[in-house]
Amino acid sequence: MTSSMRIAVLVPCFNEEAAVATVVADFRKALPKAEIFVYDNNSSDRTAVVAREAGAEVRSERRQGKGHVVRRMFADIDADIYVLVDGDATYDAASAPRMIEALISDHLDMVVGLRIDKVQAAYRTGHRAGNWMLTGFLSSVFGQAFTDILSGYRVFSRRFVKSFPVLSDGFEIETELAVHALELALPVAEIETPYYARPEGSFSKLNTWRDGFRILGTILKLYRSEKPLRFFAVIGVFLTLISIGLAIPIIITFVEEGIVPRLPTAVLSMGLMILAMLSLSSGMVLDTVTRGRREIKLLAYLSQPPLSKN
């Protein structure tokens, strides 16, 4: 089915000397006809040398951050099917053919590797809890479609890759990929895949708290940009409630005594109500702009040919 299709395995790396050779060898075995590209992101060790010796085509991205690397990969590489995987040897290369088969047979645009950890050390408790909370928040905002939004193992169609505007700089890229698929209602799926501990000598670059807050911030930014009416309506309602709460005693006093005893409070209440109306108006205007941007994204997606089994 995939004999006539060009498959590219994309491996972003930063200081993965201890693991990258295993990744290249495993994917060479699982996908013999695929081209394997390792993008080195300013590693201070021998990552690039080891990857090249293992048989991968090695390129580099000087701007630090996984988002920058993925943006460069998606722009540079031309293929029909893309496999994106971290270079830490924690993902199961043998699952790639199943993920590709699902992508083609079910006419999907993205298949996410749902991580099933094989050893306790593979998935730290803090990372597990953070992933669960962020996934739940994303589902409540954009709709339920994923149970592991932070997985670094994904298979894409050319349609998805060439129409996806990468805006993130770092580890927030996985969140952005999920939101893009949800906003355009693209066909996606998750497939369970084993998740292993890093090999000896390999260390995680993910900081649980720092990167967790960055991902949460990305979700809030995307919520503001993709759901502006809801975002600014919530702010407007909050300001309206405060304004009404401040105004009620003043109105009661005015009705009973005919005077306004707390003029500064009355001015503050009126100012908050004006801000509430401005917030709601801004949301309505930005919602129209967002709809236009979404239509442009969809047209860019539709301009790419779909995957064919032939």
**What pLDDT shows up at residue 99?**
96
The pLDDT of residue 120 is above 60: no
**pLDDT tens digits, 155-181:** 999 999 999 988 878 778 888 898 889
| Number of domain units in the chain | 2
* 232 and 220 part of one domain: no
* 82 and 214 part of one domain: yes
**At 87, which CATH number?**
3.90.550.10
* 163 and 245 part of one domain: no
Q: Which of 170, 118, 180 is nearest to 146 (CA)?
A: 180
Within a domain: 252: yes
Domain encompassing residue 291:
228-301
From CA 47, how far away is CA 20, in angstroms rounded? 7
**pLDDT tens digits, 282-307:** 999 999 998 998 899 899 999 988 88
Sign of CA dihedral 309, 302, 79, 181: negative
Strand 110-117 to strand 154-157: parallel, antiparallel, or no bridges (unpaired)?
A: antiparallel
The residue out of 224, 256, 285 marking a domain boundary is: 224
**What pLDDT shows up at residue 123?**
53
From CA 140, how far away is CA 146, in angstroms rounded? 11
Within a domain: 2: no
Within a domain: 307: no
